[in-house]
Structure 1
Amino acid sequence: MDLNDLGTLEVGRFIKRENRFLGRIVVDGKERSCYIADTGRLRDILVKDREIWVIKNREGLKTDYTLITVNVEGEWVLVNTSLHSNIAYRAIEKGVLGFIPKRIEKEVKFKNSRFDFLVDKNTFVELKGCNLVKGDTGYFPDAPTKRGVKHLRELIEAKEKGYNAVILIMALRDCKYFLPNSETDREFSEMFYKALDKGVNFRGFKIKVEENGKIYFVSTLKLGSI
């Protein structure tokens, strides 16, 4: 995937986050507003004066720009969840689930949820983006997520109804392992391990955003030990 396909990537500087969706930035020496398409806390990422990439919004929108990436100590970190699905789709195409699929469907309804993917008509896949890193381990979530717990519960139900079920973690920063973030959301962590016990599979992969704006699937992600 190439971020340049979204439009012209402009370089700016982050100032502050005013609420979940609104930030203040500087572009070309002028203070502007930006849309933040990631509801996570991002406390280790949205730090004042960090370099950012943004796309200018069309006229009529409430914000001037949309935030795409943040430079965290030399690593470009994607902070736009609207792009996650397309990236994961390509990773699934390349075999991140352990096989090359014949068919991938997006946003497929199951009971009261829509899972991100249905692969080969028999494998439900729910995707989560992981941007909180400590040492060599990535953690999800970085904020409590009732929606995430609901998805895990329904992956278990899909498995019980005869489907294959996968929780797919996409690491947005450099790490080797993944663990559920029990300190932030104990309910999600407990449901994650319950899902594994019930036969839901864990798969993980890591992406890298290059200086030219291209995104690469660089390696798989292992489940860490507690």
Structure 2
Amino acid sequence: MRYATIKLATFISRPNRFIAHCQLAGELVVVHVKNTGKCLELLIPGVLVALNYLPSPQRKTDYDLVAVKTVTRWINIDSQIPNALAAAALNQGQMTLPQLDAISLVKREVVFRDARFDIAGTTGHGRNFFVEVKGVTLVNGKVAAFPDAVTTRGLKHVETLIQAQRQGYQAYLLFIIQVPQIEVMTINRALQPELAAAIATAQANGVQVLAYNCQVSAAEITIDRAVRFDLQQPFELPPIPEP
């Protein structure tokens, strides 16, 4: 996935979860932040950010803040990207789902009971499956964790995946880590232990939990490779640098 027109800017402040102030070519601009998570360890005053220029009369801002440059790497924070990456990878055969082969149909945003899953599909042998996709931006070194804020919606999705698995579907929880150089994916148990417990129950019922990291630049993000998911992997929140 490549953004149309990327401009590099300096992050100044984030008055609320939807907008940020950035310095671009000597001008202070208001931009839309494409992630409602806290991102406190990323959006530090003075950090380099990537802005996608999308002017339109229907928009309140001309720019979307889509990526942040840390000391060692770019991190994509666009919350709409993971679903598109996953669907494209499945359609193009770049991603495999354990226990399935010959995927013949992939659909987006499919309702099941009182929930909406990101992806649904069918194999050539008539096996139906669901995939719920979660984007990940919280990392410390080579370990990634989800979530960075308590998610009741995410918990409900896991519970519904269990119901789908019990009704004969093959269910998947897929983490798209929007960060390069990651070796293991886990759950932020200190923040939301009930989510970790629900995922353990899901795995015991046959729900498959997968994780893929990405290659990321200011203007582009692509799925890289599968990484290990370990529910017991220790995780410490990264320090928040001084401005």
Equivalent of 2:228, from 212, 222, 226? Answer: 222
Count of aligned pairs between the two proteins: 222
Which structure 2 residues correspond to residues 85-164 of structure 1 after superposition, within 5 A? 85-93=83-91, 94-98=94-98, 99=101, 101-120=103-122, 122-164=128-170
1:148 aligned counterpart, secondary structure:
helix
Alignment deviations for residues 16-48 of structure 1 (CA, whole Å, 9 cap, x no partner): 111111111111111111111211111111111
Aligned to 1:191: 198
What's the TM-score once normalised by structure 1's chain length? 0.92
Gaps of 5+ in 1: none
Q: Partner amino acid for 1:2?
A: R
Aligned to 1:18: 15
Q: Partner amino acid for 2:83?
A: S
Contact kept, 8 Å, 1:34 with 1:67, in 2: the verdict is: yes
Contact kept, 8 Å, 1:95 with 1:101, in 2: the verdict is: no
Gaps of 5+ in 2: 234-243
1:199 aligned counterpart, secondary structure:
coil
User: Is 1:178 the equivalent of 2:185?
Assistant: yes
Contact kept, 8 Å, 1:96 with 1:220, in 2: the verdict is: no
Across the aligned residues of Structure 1 and Structure 2, the Cα RMSD in angstroms comes to: 1.6
Residues 100/9 of structure 1: CA separation in 2 closer, same or farther (3 Å cut)? farther
Q: Partner amino acid for 2:63?
A: Y
Distance 1:74 1:58 in 2: 34
Alignment deviations for residues 131-170 of structure 1 (CA, whole Å, 9 cap, x no partner): 1112321100000000000000000000011100000011
Contact kept, 8 Å, 1:144 with 1:185, in 2: the verdict is: yes
User: How far off its partner does 1:100 sit?
Assistant: 5.2
Contact kept, 8 Å, 1:92 with 1:100, in 2: the verdict is: no
2:86 aligned counterpart, secondary structure:
helix
Contact kept, 8 Å, 1:138 with 1:179, in 2: the verdict is: yes
Identity of aligned residues (%): 27
Residues 184/65 of structure 1: CA separation in 2 closer, same or farther (3 Å cut)? same
Distance 1:87 1:31 in 2: 32
Equivalent of 2:46, from 33, 44, 49? Answer: 49
Aligned to 1:167: 173
1:102 aligned counterpart, secondary structure:
strand
Alignment deviations for residues 44-77 of structure 1 (CA, whole Å, 9 cap, x no partner): 1111111111123323522242111111224121
Q: Partner amino acid for 1:32?
A: V
1:81 aligned counterpart, secondary structure:
coil
Q: Answer with 91-100 or 48-57: which moved more.
A: 91-100
Residues 42/33 of structure 1: CA separation in 2 closer, same or farther (3 Å cut)? same
Aligned to 1:39: 36
More RCO (CA 8 Å, sep 6+): 2
Q: Partner amino acid for 1:95?
A: M
User: How far off its partner does 1:14 sit?
Assistant: 0.7
What's the TM-score once normalised by structure 2's chain length? 0.86
Aligned to 1:70: 68
2:156 aligned counterpart, secondary structure:
helix
